[in-house]
Amino acid sequence: MKIEKDRVVRFHYTVSERGAHARGEPSLETSRDREPLVILIGHGNIIPGLEKAMMDRQAGDSFGADVAANEAYGEYREGLSQRIPKKHFGGTQLKPGMQVVLQTNFGPRAVTIQKIGHSVVDVDLNHPMAGKDLHFDVEIVDVREASPEEVEHGHVHGDGGHHHG
């Protein structure tokens, strides 16, 4: 079964900054140490460039895909720093450069710690992969039809998907 809109795909991925392998730098993130990712195609659940590269592939396919920043997490934007009271970080030991997830009015958001003061912390609100041209290595594990309910909700239900309380 081919990957197209309203189908559910399970896949493994490893993402690196483009050219990182050649420079001997490590990957940024991989699913290889956990369960594959499960997503519903055609509902904005993954970055557009990766979704495009997956179209028409099928279970068992392995491929590499170059995704430019504007098709991934967007360009890096200056001036996206914010000063946040330290208490919002709980007991976490903070270090500059570290990535943490903050609960915001817009839902959870990954931020990068810039500077740690006595009572406040400066964070960079850009996505950690913003401004980066990326390379994905992908292995398609399986592909199935989405249920009508999944299509209506715009996300996957069941194993590895969304659970409604």
Interacting residues toward Zn ion by CB under 5 A:
153, 162
Residue at shortest CB range from Zn ion: 153
Closer by beta carbon to Zn ion, 77 or else 162: 162
Closer by beta carbon to Zn ion, 115 or else 162: 162
Min dist CB 156 to Zn ion, Å, is: 8
Give the count of beta carbons closer than 10 Å to the beta carbon of residue 14.
16
Min dist CB 150 to Zn ion, Å, is: 7
Min dist CB 79 to Zn ion, Å, is: 36
Min dist CB 144 to Zn ion, Å, is: 16
Are the C-beta atoms of residues 143 and 7 closer than 8 Å to each other? yes
Distances, alpha carbon 49 to alpha carbons 27, 44, 60, 151, 159, in Å: 18, 11, 20, 21, 25
Closer by beta carbon to Zn ion, 23 or else 163: 163
Closer by beta carbon to Zn ion, 86 or else 155: 155
Closer by beta carbon to Zn ion, 144 or else 162: 162
Sign of the dihedral defined by the CA atoms of residues 48, 158, 35, 112, in that order? positive
- To which residue do tokens 């290889």 refer? 32
Sheet strand arrangement including 99-104: 81-85, 120-124, 107-116, 99-104
Residue 36 DSSP class: P
Using CA atoms of 111, 133, 162, 90 in order, give the dihedral in degrees to the nearest 10: -10
Min dist CB 46 to Zn ion, Å, is: 17
